[in-house]
Amino acid sequence: YERFFADAAASTAEEGVGLAREAGLDASGEAIESGAGAWRALAQVAGARGAAVIVAGSRGRGGRGGPRRGERSRDVYDRLAG
């Protein structure tokens, strides 16, 4: 299962980079695995790259019983901006 999810994450990152570049942005992406929490991993990679913007998507786990839309993205923002 790990390979499946790693491949899906890489594909999603590539798709996002493609969309950003089509919009005229200088974009790069990377699928990473971290046991330290998403916001820490994002902060580390963004800092290392000197990123001006971070774009993060959902894992597609909405619906009943799942996190509210944008809840995790808001958490990442709050931790990095605060």
Considering only CA atoms, which of 51, 44, 45 is closest in space to residue 25? 51
pLDDT, tens digit (0-9, with 9 covering 90-100), for 29-81? 888 888 877 788 888 888 898 888 887 766 555 544 555 555 667 777 777 77
Cβ atoms < 10 Å from Cβ of 42: 20
Considering only CA atoms, which of 48, 80, 74 is closest in space to residue 30? 48
Q: Report the predicted TM-score, pTM, of the whole model to 2 decimal places.
A: 0.66
Per-residue pLDDT, 59: 58
pLDDT, tens digit (0-9, with 9 covering 90-100), for 14-23? 999 999 999 9
Per-residue pLDDT, 71: 64
Is residue 55 within 8 A of residue 73, CB to CB? The reply is no
How far lies 8's CA from each of 34, 47, 78, 80, in Å?
A: 16, 24, 27, 26
Q: In this structure, which amino acid lies at residue 62? A: G
